A and B are shown apart, each in its own frame.
Chain A
Amino acid sequence: MKILVLLKQVPDSDEVKLNPETGTMIREGVGTVINPLDLHALETALRIKETGDHSVTVVSMGPPAAEEAVREAIAMGADRAVLLTDRKFAGADTWATSMALARFAEKEGPFDLILAGEKATDGETGQVGPETGAMLGIPVATYVSRIAELDESGITIEREVEDGKEIWKLPLPSLVSVTKDVNEPRLPTLNGKKLARNASVERIGNDFLELDPSEIGLKGSPTRVVRIGTPKLSRKVEMYEGSSIRDGIDEIKKRLAPYLEVNHE
C-alpha cells in the first residue's frame, strides 16, 4: 500500500511576537518544525507501515528552509520526503496549496491512502486536507480519532463529532484527517536521525507539476489578506484592587445571584 502524508512546517513556538509598528510577524529566531498535529498523521502512517509491505511518502509545500522540518519525518521512519518548492508557489492560500499537493498526489500516485493532520497550529484553517481530497475526487473523513481497520477493501475509522461518534467505512483511495486523539507520535530515533542526516529531501517545482500559472502561488489564490490588525479592545474595565477587592467580590456576587440554585424545600 502506498501512503501519502501531508505535512506543514510551522513556527516552533506559539508565542510569535509582532512588530508593533508594522504589525508584521517577527520571524527572526523562530525555528520551524513539523506542525505538531501533522505528527499524528505521520504516526498513523508509520504504524500502518509496520503491519506489512507499505511505503510512506511525506510531502510539504514551502520555502527551501522547510527542508529541515520535512527531513525530521525521515528520522521518524518515512521512506521518502518531498518538498514542493518554487518561487512561483509563494503566497499560496489553502486553495493553491491544495492544488499543488493534489497534483503531486496524481503525478506520483496513485496513493491508496492520504493522511493529514486536523489543522496547522499557525493558520488553524484545517482546509487543505478536505480541499485536496475534493480536488482528487476521493472521499474524505475528518476529525478521525481512531483507525479501526484497514485492508484492500477499505479503511474503517471513527470520527468524533458534536453529537456523538460515527464509524465509517471508506473505500481506497480516501483522504483521512486525524485528530491528536488518534495516537501518541513517536520521537525520532538516534538511528533515524543518522539516516535522516544523509537522506535527501526531493525538491519538486512547477516544472514537474506543470500547473497553469493561474493555479499556483499568489496568482492562483482566490483570497487576499487586505488588512492586519491587533484584536481591538472593546471594553472599559472597572478595576478593584487592594482595599476595594471586597467591593469587587460583591459586584461578582450581585451578577451571579440570579443563577444561584434555589432551594425549593
Chain B
Amino acid sequence: MIRKFLLIFNLIVVSASSADAAEKLIYGVFWEGCEHGCEGFIEAIKVSGFPARVIVRDAEQNKLKLPGFIEEARRMKADLMLTYGTSVTLGIAGRLENTGDKQFITEMPLVFMYVSDPFGSGIARSFEKSGRNNVTGTFNRVPEAVNIRTIQTIKPDFKHLGMIYNGNENNSVIKVKEMSELSHEMGFLLTALKVDPDSVGVPDPQLIPERVRELAKAGVDFIYLGSSSFLRLNADVFTSAAVESGLPILSPYEEVVRESEALVSIAARAKDVGRVAADQVLRILRDGATPGELPIARVTEFAYVVNMAVARKLNTFPPIDILQVAETLD
C-alpha cells in the first residue's frame, strides 16, 4: 500500500518538476526573415542556458499574415511573443487603446524589438512603463538630434535634409513627421517624398532613383534614410542612385553602410539589439517579472560606421576628431 502511494507520489512530483523543467516557447514574428537581430536574440537565449525554444515566423512584409500568427501562437500556447518591427508589433499587439481587444495579443507576454518610435506609433506610453500589462520591449535608435548633429559635423554647411518614405509603413511616416518637427527646432529645411504616392501596398522599387533625382534637384545636401524596412531591403538601388547624384546618405541601419553605399550610420549592433531583447525576455520568463512593470530597455552602445569608398566618391569625409572612434570600411 505504502509502496503504491510512494510510486504515485513520485510520479506526480517528477511530472510536476519536469513540467517546470520543460522548455518555454518563444514565438517570434519577423517582418522579413531572421536577420542579425534575430540571430543575436537566439544566440543570447542559448548562451544564457535558460531552457527555451524559439519559433521563427516570417511575415514577408505582409500585414495580412499577422492574424494567422496570433492564432497559431495561441494554439501553441506560446509563453511569450517576440515581435520585430513597427508593422508587426502594431499588427500583433495593437496600440495602447487596444488593451483588452481580443483581436490582438493582450494577455500573453510580448516583447517588441526594432520599433523605431514606440511612443509615436502608440505602442507604448513611455520609457518607464509600456502602459500595458503584457507589453514591453527594446529601444535601439539614437535620438534624431544625434543624427542631425552627425550630418552637421560631416557637412558644416548643411541646410537641407532629404528623405523618401514608404507610405505603407507606419514607422516610415511617423519618422518623417518627427523629422519635420525637428527641422523647425534645429533650423534646417526638410524635403520628404513618398516613394510611391499611387500605391497603398508595397511600393515599386523602380521609383526610388527617380525620387532621389528629385531630391537632388530640390537642392538637398544630405539624405536621411529614416525608418523603413522597404528602403533597407532596396538599399542597393537607393544608395547607388544617391551616390550618382552626389548625395550622401545617413542610415540608421548599419548594413546599408556596410553592404550598400550609404555614407554613414550611427546604429546599435544588430546582435546587441537581439541581446537586449533576450535580456527582457529572460526577465519575464526566468525571473518572473511582469512585462508592464519593466522599463523599455535601451541599447547604449552604438557604432559610428563610415564607408570610406563612398566618402572618397562623394569627397565627403567625417571630421578628423571622430575618425579615431569611427569604424571605417573600404
Instruction: Report whether chain A binds chain B.
Output: no
Binding site for A on B (CB under 8 A): none
Using a CB–CB cutoff of 8 Å, the interface residues on chain A facing chain B are none
